Every structure is written in structure tokens, then in C-alpha cells.
Structure 1
Amino acid sequence: MSLDKLKLSKPLITAMTDAGYLTPKEIQAKTMSRILGGQDILAVGPEGSGKTTAYILGVLMRLKYTKDDAPKVLILVADKDRAIAVIDQFISLSKNRDLNIVGLYGTGGVEAEVNELVLGIDIVVATPTRARAIYLKLGLNLSKLQTFIVDDAALIVQQGMQLPVCELARSAGKCQHLVFTEVIHEKLTKMTDQFLNFPTVIEVEDFGDSKTETVAQVLYQVPNYKTKINLLRHLLRDDEVFNKVVVFVNSRLTAQKVAISIASPKEMEFSMFRPLHFDENGFDDFEDFKQSEEARVLVVANQGEGPLNLDGIPFIFHFDVPEEKETFLSRIIKNKENPEEVVAITFATDMELVQVKKIEQSIGQKLELMDLPEELLVEKTLRTKGFDKNRVVKVKAEEPAGGGAYHEKKESNSKNYNYGIGQKAKMTMKKKHS
């Protein structure tokens, strides 16, 4: 497919060609007409699939340049590095246009950022917490917003920034909403349901042509840590099948907790690799575990450990998905010199699905998703307190509650205005230029 199929302007196609874009990615082809049509979109695609370029092209096509003091586009990103990358890509694709864009990510003073905003900005790229902080100080005007974009939404949810995203979306009022993410899960949809209006969901898979040969892979999606423990106990009951198992976790403290949680009355049946305390069941040498007939399950922390020789271990559990995908890949890529059958079983919560997606991209295939056993006890996830759009707001009584010490202000001292930081900045700028 050629770039002409995206129905972009000639200057924009020229800018794309100069930047090295020769053909559109699948997600760009599927989303562009809907972005230009003003629809709300929830787009799902892996890293490198072209999600950022898709919304940048859409914004550059729809944006009408005026000298308004309020931005027309707000893009929320997870951190400073991502904000800088998005701004650089905007600049790369808009060389022939006078684009006013600013990044808000908390490295400078609030006053300086507000002063920049009041000079007139078309596009704001910001972290949710910084944008919300400046908005609450009346420094970020969302009254003329046309497009509200959440970039890498799964990572924003993982960092716990759903509340500022929802508050900013509701404060923006009626506008187009575009959400881009690598994965969809329950916590993400709880956030987007608060502001997306009948969105079109577009999902693409881009595994490429190469496929890595791995050991057998299965994936269990679980809601929380306690359910992981219940599932591990449930599977390990079958000691005939699971006769030699290594369970990988991310930290030594987690390894200790897991080993205690699945403890067996049989001495050394379940143990920890390099235990934290001398009186805990464990092995300091991995080969000792492999040779021990009594030892069936060994819990190993990724933290501070190098690669282990897993030859002869038929079952590998990833109780936690490793933070570095290379750690995971080193264990599941098939060893051609070792023909033994190995099964790798992964437990993943919603927050770990992004790492799972990166692993799937690396091996060029999806992990086989398994249903949770019917008899498994699924623990409830405690709800975190968030913004309730149906909450009742108590209005402060107009009558003073100060008692006998209260007295009316003199008319000359009474204040009947409340300037926000944005209005003060405008007044200051006027004084400077007058």
C-alpha cells in the first residue's frame, strides 16, 4: 500500500517520504479515515507497529492553525522521555508548518511552563500528573480542545495515573478521544469507559516473518498475587506430573514468600534457591537440587542471578513475568542439543500483559492462553479509591460559621475576584509588553 491511500496532504506525504516512511503500517491504514472523521478510537498494537505516527498524522491533517491562547490538542504520555520523543516526531513531520508545541513533564518550574502556554500553543504533550497540576492552577485551558490523546495507555495505567487522565478528559468537555495501547485489560477499560464515546476498537498483530523455536508455552491470566499462589498450589498437587519444577519470581523476598506459601510437610520437597535465612529449606548449589530425589520444587529469584543450566528440568514456571524480556527468552528458546520435552508455564496479571506482549513479539508467536481451573479459588482484587463521577459534592454553607468572633469585611478590603495562575500570567505578560 502506498502513502497516497492514507489521503494525506501533499506536504505531509513529502515530509513522511523525507523522514523515511515509504509505506503505511497496518494500524495507520485502519485508523486514519476514522481519525480524520472525528471518531473516538481505541487502537491496540504492539511496540513498533506505528501507533504514534498514526495519531501524529491525524493531528497534523485536522489541526487548523490560529492564534488562540488555548491548545487544540492534548497528548498524555507516561514520562518525560516519551514526551520528548513525541515532540521530536511532530517536528520531523511538520517542517513546513509553523507548529506551536510544548511539553509539560515536571522538570521546570510551573510559572515558566504557564508563561509559555499563555503565549499561544497548538499542541501540549504532557504527563497526566503534570497536566493536571497545571490545570488545577488554571494554567492549562482546555475549553478549545479538539483532540484528547492517551499514548501508551497500558503503561499509564501500570504507573497508576488513571485518575488525572479521567479528570482531564472530563474537564475537556466535547472533543475527539484517541487511545493507543499495546494491550487491553480490565483496569484500562475501567479508565477509558469514563470518557470514550462509542469508540471504534482497532487491533493489529505484527509478528513479522520470523518465528523463534521455543519450548511448549502456556499462559494463565490471573487477577492478583493471591490467585497466583492458589493456582500454583493447585497445579503442584499432581506430584506425578510435576516431579521436577523450577518456579521463577522477580525478587528474593517474593521467593521467600512463595516458598513459605506452598510449603510441604515433606522435608525439602519445596525449597528456595539461596534462602535468606539459615533455617529455611533451600539449596545454595542448583546442581544439588537437580540431583536430590526429595526436592521437587525450587523457587528461584531473578534478582542478582545469572543463567542457570536448566537441562533435566521438565517444567519451568514464571510466577512473575521478568522485567527484562531477555531473561525470559533465555529460558524458553529451544536448545537443539537437548531434545528433552520442556513446558514453560507463565502466570500474568493485567499489569504484566505488556511484558507478555513484548515477549510474543520477540518470539513471533502468541503464548497459548489457558482457562483457569473451575475449582480454583480466585481471590478478589481490592478496589482502589478513585474519582466517582456519581459522587455527591457537599456545598459549603453561605452563612458564616465563625461564631461571635466573625465580622463582615470592610467593603474596601473585600475581594470579589479569584485570578488563576494562567490569568495572572497573562496580566504579567501584558505589563511586560506594554
Structure 2
Amino acid sequence: MSFKSLGLSESLVKAVSEQGYDTPTPIQSKAIPPVLKGKDVLASAQTGTGKTAGFTLPLLDILSQTPPLRNRPVRALILTPTRELAAQVHQNVKDYSKYVDLRSTVIFGGVNQKSQVSTLRNGVDILIATPGRLLDLNNQGLLSLSKVEILVLDEADRMLDMGFLRDIKKIMGLIPKQRQTLLFSATFSREIRKLANEFLTNPVSVESTPENTTVEAIEQQVYRVAKEKKTDLLIKLITEGNWDQVLVFARTKHGANKLAKKLEAAKIGAAAIHGNKSQGARTKALAGFKSGSVKVLVATDIASRGLDIPLLPHVVNFELPNISEDYVHRIGRTGRAGASGLAVSLVSADETVFLRDIEKLIGSKIPMDILEGFEPDPNASTKPFNPQQRGKKPRNTSNSRPSSGNKPRTTRSNSSKSRR
């Protein structure tokens, strides 16, 4: 199957080819045809499956079939939960619209709005935005959504997790009821289906992988460890494994900052990225991570989806998430586009219940080991760190193949077989 066989125009096929893509991914093959037919689409696609092109390509095809409207009002609106994802989607739109007469821009908070407003005034056909900045500019009378023909909700489940449901409903009231709506989500949860029933009309449902499954190419490993020994164990794994690019997940912003400083003190280039960081600091940290000047990026769940980090070889859960689905999203940052990857979780006693729930979700036991010198505390409580919050969704939060030789040599403790 080719992109041309899906019904895309020659101009778009040429642009896609220049980006190095010749064969559509499963989600692209399933989503593009119904979108081109004008259908509403409810799509489930994990990170790294090519979902962005699954909606940007047919969207561009539809808009390019008619001449631009006078003054170029916004005809397509793409909503994303985070600044990083918005920027990534905009880059995709720019790459694929190279040979069609369409203008696009991106707006998000954390930066001065002046340049964003200036671009909007010159007219854009496609607007990529985060909900907060979009409503802010609308309330100031600086943009109109009255001509929107196509609405895309990208990472819709994440937007709900972050408490954007009220904003989404407000935005729905600003755009025409007669429109095409595309909703992309990592899962078809009850909340997502409810949202789809409210805002989509007879949608075509498509899935690229079974719900809540992990990428088969990802090797998963758990190390049982005492909480106070986690940092030293992480340093050991990175240095002895000679890991050059590692995305580490911490549970809190303070924890991310603290861990990054400890890694720096151990002569490991590290930077923290989370919602309290300015957009400039986040952009700088991500750029350093991509260039190699920053070896370890310590992040809160804002980075579990949306960051454009191709072929990431290592992901570490310094702390397990209390929402099992977030584990799947986190480790989905590696093993992308068919590449292999390693996802390591450092699990202390109070995370035992979280590990059990994760294994239940993915339907398999994750290999477990204990390294000599980093044994778990046999007297530590297995009570979850905050049982009242366990299982609840947080609201208003901030939002090349690795070689087999990259894995660190481990020494299995005599007690490793009996501990779980």
C-alpha cells in the first residue's frame, strides 16, 4: 500500500516522500480514507504509530481542494494538551503542506502572545493550539473560529487527564456545529467514548493496536530497590550501561529538579522539564537532549506524550505512576517506528501495588531483578504513597536502534528469585 493509493493528492504524496516515508503505518491506512470522505473519526493510536500524519495529511488534502477564503480565516483547528505537542504537530503540518497553498501557525502559553497575534492577523488556514491560550486570545477578541470546517482533538485522553474538559466544551461552542470532527486518543476509555458521543456524528472508529497494549519491541525490566538507593542505582545503570540518551520520569516537579541536580553532581549531563519551567527553558532542555549535550532528561508526565524524540533508546521510571495507563504512555516514548528500546522501572516497597496494577493492565509479568548493594528494605511498608489518590486521574497538571551491548551487567542477589 502507498500514500497515493489512500487517495491523497500528488502534492502531498511528494511532500511525504521527501520526509522519507513511502508506506503508510496501520493507523494512517485506517484513518486517512474515512477522513478524506468527510467522516467524523474516533481513532485509538499510541505514541510512535504515525498518528499525526493520520489526521494532518487528509486535513491538508481536504482544505487544498478549494481556493483559500478571503482574509484566510481559520478553517481547521487542531487542539493539543501541551506546548511541545502543539509545536510538533505544527512542524508536521509545515513539512506536509510544502506544495499546497495553505498557511498554518501554532499558539500556546508560556511565551509572549505578540508574535502569535501578528501571524493570526495576516490570516491562517490551519491553527494548532493549546486550549488555554486559544480561549485567552478569543476572549480578547483577537481570533475568530466561526469558519472552522475541521476540528481535531489530539491526545484527547491526556486533555481530559489535565482537566481541559471545560475548556474543550467552551471551544466547541465557538465553532460551527456543521463541521468534521476527528478525535485521536491513546485509549478508548469510558470518558473518551462519552466525549465522542457528545461531539462526533456517526464516527468511524479505527485502532492501530489493541487498547492499552505496550509496543512489542520494548524490553521491560524492573529493579526492586530501597527508595533511598534509587538515585545511586540510576547512576550505576547509566554509567555502566553507557547510556547516551535517557528519559527519566519522576512523579513531581520538585523531585525532577532534585534528581537532575544529583545526576549533574555525578558528572552526568542532565536537565529537568516540567510545567513550572518556562517555555524557553523547556525548549533549551529538549534541544540539548536531542543534540547530546544533555544525556538525561528528567521529566514529569508532561513528557510522556507530545515530545518529538525519535528513536529514544532508554526510558526509566524513577517512580512508577499511580495510573497504570500512564506507564504505557511513558514507555511508549521508546521502541518507536519499529526500533527496539529498553524501559526500566525502579520499584520501592510503596510502589508494589502500582506494579501489580500495571502488570494486570499489560497482561504479563515484567522481569524483575535485584542488584547487589541496592537491595530493597525488607522492613519498608508496601502501603501506597498516597492511597486516597491511587487510581484517580490528576487534574490541572503541567502538563537508531540501541545495540544489545547497551544493557548494564547485573549481579543477581541470592534473594532475587524469592522477592517480588
- The interval holding the TM-score normalised by the smaller chain is 0.5 to 0.7
CA contact (8 A) 1:170 1:195 kept: no
CA contact (8 A) 1:150 1:178 kept: yes
User: Structure 1 regions of 5+ residues with no counterpart?
Assistant: 218-244, 249-272, 274-299, 310-319, 332-344, 371-376, 387-434
1:51 positional shift: 0.7
- Which of 355, 374, 388 lines up with 2:330 in the alignment? 355
1:183 aligned to which of 177, 184, 187: 187
1:368 maps to which residue?
Answer: 363
Q: What does residue 155 of structure 1 align with?
A: 158
TM-score under structure 1 length normalisation? 0.53
Verify: 1:93 aligned to 2:96, yes or no: yes
Residue number in structure 1 paired with 2:208 = 204
Structure 1 CA distance, aligned partners of 2:116 and 2:128?
12
Write out aligned runs for 1:409-420 (5 A). Answer: none
Paired residue for 1:135? 138
User: Do structure 1's residue 327 and structure 2's residue 316 form an aligned pair?
Assistant: yes
Matched positions, count: 280
Q: Which has the larger radius of gyration?
A: 1
Corresponding residue of 1:226: none
8 Å Cα contact 1:105/1:126 also seen in 2 = yes
Distance verdict in 2 for CA 1:303–1:151, change over 3 Å: farther
CA gap 1:383/1:111 in 2 versus in 1, 3 angstroms: same
**Which residue number in structure 1 is paired with residue 4 of structure 2?**
4
Distance in 1 (alpha carbons) for counterparts of 2:215 and 2:326: 28
List alignment gaps of at least 5 residues for structure 2. 237-250, 253-299, 305-313, 344-358, 366-386, 397-420
Moved more, 141-150 or 193-202: 193-202
Looking at structure 2, the residues matched to 307 and 384 of structure 1 have their Cα atoms a distance apart, in angstroms, of 27
Q: Which amino acid is the alignment partner of residue 16 of structure 1?
A: V
Distance 1:166 1:209, change over 3 A: closer
Q: How far is the alpha carbon of 1:188 from its aligned partner?
A: 3.7
CA distance in structure 1 between the aligned counterparts of 2:115 and 2:82, rounded to whole angstroms: 19
Query: What secondary structure does 1:157 align onto?
Result: helix
- Tell me by how many angstroms 1:14 deviates: 1.5
Q: Deviations over 1:199-230 (max 9, x none)?
A: 22211129999656768x9xxxxxxxxxxxxx
Match of 2:61 in 1: 61
CA contact (8 A) 1:154 1:188 kept: yes
Distance 1:108 1:90 in 2: 21
**Structure 1 residues 302 and 145: alpha-carbon distance in aligned structure 2, compared to 1, 3 A threshold:** farther
C-alpha change, 1:378 and 1:161, in structure 2 (3 Å) is: closer
Equivalent positions of 1:376-391 (< 5 A) are none
The CA RMSD over aligned residues, in Å, is 4.3
1:6-405 aligned within 5 A: 6-63=6-63, 64=66, 65-110=68-113, 112-174=115-177, 175-205=179-209, 211=217, 273=226, 300=227, 304=231, 306-307=233-234, 326-328=315-317, 348-349=323-324, 352-355=327-330, 362=341, 367-368=362-363
Q: Cα 1:138–1:381, aligned 2, differ >3 Å: closer, same or farther?
A: farther
Partner of 1:70: helix, strand, or coil? coil
What letter matches 2:96 in structure 1? L
* 2: CA distance, partners of 1:69 / 1:356: 40
Contact 1:11 1:96 in 2 (8 A): yes
Identical-residue share of aligned pairs (%): 22
Q: Following TM superposition, by how much is the alpha carbon of 1:3 offset from its aligned partner in structure 2, in angstroms? A: 2.1
The answer to which of 202-211 and 178-187 deviates more is: 202-211
Partners of 2:322 and 2:390 within 8 A in 1: no
State the 1:115 CA deviation: 4.0
Give the Cα separation in 1 of the matches to 2:362 and 2:333: 11
Q: Which residue of 1 aligns with 2:356?
A: none
Q: Match of 2:293?
A: none
Return the TM-score normalized by structure 2: 0.55
Aligned residue for 2:78, secondary structure, equals: strand
Q: Could you say what secondary structure the match of 1:178 adopts? A: strand
Q: CA deviation at 1:302?
A: 8.3
Q: Which amino acid aligns with 1:200?
A: V
Aligned to 2:409: none
CA-to-partner distance for each residue in 1:118-157, whole Å, 9 max, x for gaps? 3322011111111111122222211110001112223323
**C-alpha distance after superposition, 1:164-197 (max 9, x if no partner):** 1221123213211111122232444444443222
Matching residue of 1:396: none
Distance 1:130 1:193, change over 3 A: farther
For 2:395 and 2:231, the matched residues in 1 are separated by 35
Q: Equivalents in 2 of 1:173, 1:381: separation in Å? A: 36
2:189 is matched by which residue type in structure 1?
A: H
Structure 2 letter corresponding to 1:41: V
From the superposition, tell whether residues 301 and 199 of structure 1 become closer, same or farther in structure 2 (CA, over 3 Å). Answer: farther
Letter in 2 for 1:327: V
